[in-house]
Amino acid sequence: MATDDLETLRQRLATFAADRDWDQFHAPKNLAMALIAECAELVEHFQWLNEEQSTALSPEKMAAVRLELADILIYLVRISDKLNVDLLAAARDKIAINEKRYPTEKVRGDARRASEYEI
Amino acid sequence: MATDDLETLRQRLATFAADRDWDQFHAPKNLAMALIAECAELVEHFQWLNEEQSTALSPEKMAAVRLELADILIYLVRISDKLNVDLLAAARDKIAINEKRYPTEKVRGDARRASEYEI
Amino acid sequence: MATDDLETLRQRLATFAADRDWDQFHAPKNLAMALIAECAELVEHFQWLNEEQSTALSPEKMAAVRLELADILIYLVRISDKLNVDLLAAARDKIAINEKRYPTEKVRGDARRASEYEI
Amino acid sequence: MATDDLETLRQRLATFAADRDWDQFHAPKNLAMALIAECAELVEHFQWLNEEQSTALSPEKMAAVRLELADILIYLVRISDKLNVDLLAAARDKIAINEKRYPTEKVRGDARRASEYEI
């Protein structure tokens, strides 16, 4: 039984906001700002590390990064709920677009393409 | 049968990157940058709208915003995979923290608290 | 005597970093991350305010916002220095481009254009 | 004669907005969003480069990055104008704070400090 999914998270966050009367602050515009602010907290953890260091975080940093990722998911689910967007369906549609845009045979091992066009 | 979940998405994105030999670019540091860049594309859609307008997007804008949300989820799932973070478990842990930090009776209808402390 | 200008600031920041042996961390990639993280701290101050409230900050909030703006300028000057970019010359060039792109008679009072195309 | 300074830029941008009747969109909240969106465009240029590559951009990329830096300065000057903040005075105040917070003898060559505390 998959109670542990995005839909459960969506409902829990909606209840969390309703219980606190915070819906009034949760216009998509405002949630987009909160979402990018959380992403920036993630970025801060990596800004003075090189790429290799970023793959091997200390346990303390890893625990902090894990909660930043949680914050990003929380706001992403919240704004999607407010806009009535089914996140997983949207991601499937976007991946289908990306698969056409970056055919394997065309971009494979091609750093220039990978770096100029991002998914 | 829940094939339509975050785990399925995680696997699909891992395959997508492996097929294109893009894993070499996907250090957590780099993915954090790509993630915030996608968030900024979402923010751009809202920057000249007021809050009310942000709740009633045109169909064209809505379609574009939906794909931006997808991009954010895609990079969020990808960086979490690279860091071996279970996003939903992390979100549950973070919500438990937030519930203690912002008890309903203490913050209800209190704009100051809602605006000073964010989830 | 204009000692109080961007060039003075550039030199002071270069000395600040050199004195602390921090140049090793100041690759443009890393400074771009630090710069966006500072912008996000600015965004956080505004995320739960509406537009009108954002024009009338409390003295405490104003003092904090002022220092966030300073942080953004500091990293902007620093990354520009590392890339040998003359910020003011670049801004003049960009304004000339914008003046052609958005001729007054064409965009005046046209919210759609103002919101779809930003400077 | 220093016509080529931040004050000249501030005035030119104020005139640019007034001529187009765009002041109505330029609440500090909105300008903070536009500012971070521009920073993200800068970040995008660096996200798939490593630090060393970020110090040696191609001429084409350098030209694009230069204009992104210009965009950031433009919005930074614009929001500071709207908030009546003297950017250079604010930067001087912030540097004085940083000099106390990170005394040379204490942080010199100490990557941990440099990476945990940023200016």
What ipTM score was computed for the predicted complex, to two decimals? Answer: 0.91
D-interface mutation test, from A29, A48, A52, most D Cβ less than 10 A away? A48
Tell how far CA B7 is from the center of its chain. 15
Residue A44 neighbours by CB under 8 Å, 6+ apart = C33, C34, C37, D118
Does position C73 have pLDDT exceeding 80, yes or no?
A: yes
Are B72 and A5 a contacting pair at CB < 8 A? no
- Return the number of CB contacts < 8 Å for A and C: 39
Question: Rounded to the nearest 5 degrees, what angle is found at the Cα of D42, between the Cα atoms of C42 and B23?
Answer: 110
- Span D43-60, mean pLDDT? 96
Does position B56 have pLDDT exceeding 70, yes or no?
A: yes
Does position D33 have pLDDT exceeding 90, yes or no?
A: yes
Closest CA to B31 of B64, B73, B86, B62: B73
Chain B CB contacts of A19 under 8 Å are 104, 108
For residues D11 and D105, what is the distance between their CA atoms, to the nearest angstrom?
Answer: 42
Out of A33, A43, A47, name the one closest to residue C47 (CB). Answer: A33
B-interface mutation test, from C48, C117, C119, most B Cβ less than 10 A away? C48
Contact B44, C44 (CB under 8 A): no
For residues B32 and B78, what is the distance between their CA atoms, to the nearest angstrom?
Answer: 10
pLDDT band at A3 (very low <50, low <70, confident <90, very high): low
Which residue did the predictor score with more confidence, C78 or A119?
A: C78
Mean pLDDT of chain A, nearest integer: 90
Chain D CB contacts of B47 under 8 Å are 30, 33-34, 37
Are C36 and A40 a contacting pair at CB < 8 A? yes
Question: Rounded to the nearest 5 degrees, what angle is found at the Cα of C78, between the Cα atoms of C75 and C82?
Answer: 140
- Return the number of CB contacts < 8 Å for C and D: 212
Chain B CB contacts of C48 under 8 Å are 111, 114-115, 118
Which residue did the predictor score with more confidence, C37 or A3?
A: C37
Question: Rounded to the nearest 5 degrees, what angle is found at the Cα of D11, between the Cα atoms of D8 and D16?
Answer: 125
Residue A86 neighbours by CB under 8 Å, 6+ apart = A80
For residues B34 and A42, what is the distance between their CA atoms, to the nearest angstrom?
Answer: 12
- Span A35-50, mean pLDDT? 97
Tell me what pLDDT residue C72 has: 98
Mean pLDDT of chain D, nearest integer: 90
Does position C94 have pLDDT exceeding 50, yes or no?
A: yes
pLDDT tens-digit series, residues C40-66: 999 999 999 999 999 999 999 999 999
For residues C3 and B14, what is the distance between their CA atoms, to the nearest angstrom?
Answer: 54
Q: Determine the residue of chain B that is closest to C43 in CA distance.
A: B43
Chain B CB contacts of C112 under 8 Å are none
Using the Cα atoms of residue B73, residue B74, residue B79 and residue B85 in order, give the sign of their dihedral.
positive
pLDDT band at A113 (very low <50, low <70, confident <90, very high): low
**What is the SS3 assignment for A34?**
helix
Q: Minimum mean pLDDT among B70-74, C44-48, D4-8: which range?
A: D4-8
Tell me what pLDDT residue C106 has: 81
- Span B28-36, mean pLDDT? 98
Chain D CB contacts of A28 under 8 Å are none
pLDDT band at D108 (very low <50, low <70, confident <90, very high): confident
pLDDT above 90: percentage of residues in chain C: 82
The H or E element spanning position B18 is helix B6-20
Does position B21 have pLDDT exceeding 70, yes or no?
A: yes
pLDDT band at A60 (very low <50, low <70, confident <90, very high): very high
Which residue did the predictor score with more confidence, C106 or D66?
A: D66
C-interface mutation test, from B115, B116, B118, B119, most C Cβ less than 10 A away? B115
